[in-house]
Chains A and B, each alone.
Chain A
Amino acid sequence: MTSTDPAAAIVAPPGVMEPVPARVLSVDKETHDTFTLRLEQPPAMTGFRPGQFSMLYVFGVGELPISISGDPEHPGDLTYTVRSVGPVTYQLVTRHEGESIGVRGPFGTSWPMAECRGKNVLIIAGGIGLAPLRPAIYHILRHRGDFNRLVILYGARSPRDVLYKKELAAWNLLPDTQVLTTVDYGGVTWRGYVGVVTTLFKYLRLLPSETATILCGPEIMMRYAIHDLSARGFQDDQIWLSMERNMRCAVGFCGHCQLGPHFACKDGPVFNYPDIKPYVDLYEL
């Protein structure tokens, strides 16, 4: 029987509209301002797919969308990498083990792992944009035989802002895997590249027609990266990007994250480039 009661239509399962308390397992410092927060996965919550995000709520302070940065095939905990830039993120990264944080989600679309199978995968990350891409990297490494060459290009502001340094170094040693890291400003001890992430494109040895590209970072970085990829023959329909707009409700009700006809929270955050191409270059959108 179908209910016609209007109230019934807005009843959502736990964790969708109402935050579910999750216990903090650990808070680890990644850089001078960025921390990785590991939460115990509430029993009511299902797993997540690479690229999805949660709404994290510090009770009495506020709620923010944060991408999940952990391994999707490691059940039992939820991992988030958070940069402390405001009151809510500060409160998130200063929690202690055993305290509770409210969690809603996971929400949104995911990286197209099925479409990437059998191809080279080019991952382009800028700044903390590496965090939402890390679950995709974990997935590829767990299912290595399903994918061809993996190339990760990562740009950060300076050497002290580089995330997951040990993992990047370890991934670079894996067969058929290449990691190139560049920073905008390097000190004399920095042995890696200096320059914006697009300056690494000249070192790419991937056949564009056999490569799927996924990227996440500041929108302006993604815009220039896509321009350069197109100039090098990479196909628009083989490019996916994560548009991390101002998500509030996370379920497409409030419109804060609207991007043309799309809502970044439910139609995204991961979009196939042709679907949002008209809006990526649009001034003030």
Chain B
Amino acid sequence: MVPPALRGSLAAHPFLEGIPEPLLDRLMAMAFEVTFEPGQILFREADPSSFFYLILSGTVSVEIAMPGRVLRIQTVGEGEELGWTSIMAKVNKQFQARSLSPVRAIAFDGVRLKAECDSDPEFGYFIMCRILDVVAERLRATRLQMLDVYSARGGGS
């Protein structure tokens, strides 16, 4: 259970900016605080989706593990969210996540969170809109990454 002092942190998290109090209360009932040591794997690719995290401090790298090497494709940190696929039915984790520093986060059980979304359309709409913002932002960032603007053809000085 989230200590009362963390209610403020949760309400101030950018993902929940402007959340109505009754919806925040519902989230509070499902939330619990977690911490990770540097180098700890939060989840691996293809793991059954489990937790959705709102990061309060620290940084986590999102990675693709390949034979013989790991490619870091994104870093998420304070004020960001991780593990949005846990709210999607029948979608396993698509990447691996590893803490790069001590990480403090609020975690939600994805199955329970989705059940709440299904049972209360107002709550579900709020959460899904925020998730869509996250997905859209990441899609945009990925598209820009794909442009490879710093390559020899990309420009610069």
| Residues of chain A having any CB pair with chain B under 8 Å | 33, 66-67, 81, 83, 85, 126-129, 131-132, 155-157, 161, 182, 184-188, 190-196, 198-199, 202-203, 216-221, 224, 244
Contacts and interface: CB of A to CB of B under 8 A. Distances in A.
A198 B147 CA distance: 14
A202 B72 CA distance: 19
Contact of B71 (A81, A182, A187, A196): A187
A66 B72 contact: no
B74 A67 contact: no
Given A187-B71, A194-B73, A126 B141 contact: no
A156 B73 CA distance: 13
A127 B77 CA distance: 23
A188 B75 contact: no
B141 A157 contact: no
Nearest to B147: A220
Contact of A156 (B61, B77, B147, B150): B150
A73 to B, nearest CB: 21
Contacts, number: 102
B59 interface: yes
B156 A83 contact: yes
Interface of B: 14, 59, 61-63, 69-75, 77-80, 100, 141, 144-145, 147-152, 154-157
B144 A126 contact: no
A157 B151 CA distance: 7
A190 to B, nearest CB: 6
A188 B79 contact: no
Is chain A's interface secondary structure helix, strand, loop, or mixed overall?
Answer: mixed
Contacts of A198: 141, 144
By Cβ-Cβ distance, the 5 closest A-B pairs, closest first, are A186-B72, A218-B155, A127-B150, A157-B150, A127-B156
A127 B73 contact: no
A185 B149 contact: no
A195 B151 CA distance: 15
A188 B144 contact: no
27 contacts: A126-B150, A127-B149, A128-B156, A128-B157, A131-B157, A132-B157, A155-B150, A156-B150, A157-B151, A182-B75, A184-B148, A185-B145, A187-B72, A188-B72, A190-B72, A193-B59, A194-B73, A195-B74, A196-B141, A199-B141, A203-B77, A217-B156, A218-B149, A218-B150, A220-B144, A221-B144, A244-B156
A67 B141 CA distance: 29
Nearest to B153: A85
A203 B147 CA distance: 23
A182 B100 CA distance: 14
Given A187-B72, A202-B80, A195 B145 contact: yes
B151 to A, nearest CB: 7
Nearest to B100: A191
A97 B111 CA distance: 66
Given A127-B150, A218-B154, 19 more contacts: A83-B157, A156-B150, A184-B150, A185-B71, A185-B73, A185-B145, A186-B72, A187-B69, A187-B72, A193-B59, A193-B77, A194-B75, A199-B75, A203-B77, A217-B149, A217-B150, A220-B147, A220-B149, A224-B144
